Amino acid sequence: MEERIAELRERIRELQERIQEQERRIPPHSVQPVHLRELERLEEERDALQRELDSLEGSGS
């Protein structure tokens, strides 16, 4: 279980970096739907992994 927790933490960190990069790539005035969809997809994946991590950490590992 500790290995899975470490994997989740690393993947969440990677996703957070990608989210920040995606946010920097979005132009301030002419936002393209494709940029928003990608940002949303990354955030949803990060949130799902965070929920899994929270569950594992809360299970008394």
Q: Is the pTM of this model over 0.85?
A: yes
Asked if 53 contacts 37 with a C-beta cutoff of 8 angstroms, the reply is no
The values of phi and psi at residue 32, to 5°, are -90, 140
User: How many other CB atoms sit within 10 Å of the CB of residue 50?
Assistant: 16
| Residue 1 structure tokens | 């279980």
User: Residue 14's domain spans which residues?
Assistant: 2-58
Query: Where is average pLDDT lowest: 3-7, 32-36, 41-45, 52-56?
Result: 32-36
Q: What pLDDT score was predicted for residue 28?
A: 82
Domains identified in the chain, total number: 1
pLDDT tens-digit map of 9-39: 999 999 999 999 999 988 888 888 998 999 9
pLDDT of 60 above 80: no
**Average pLDDT of the chain, as a whole number:** 93
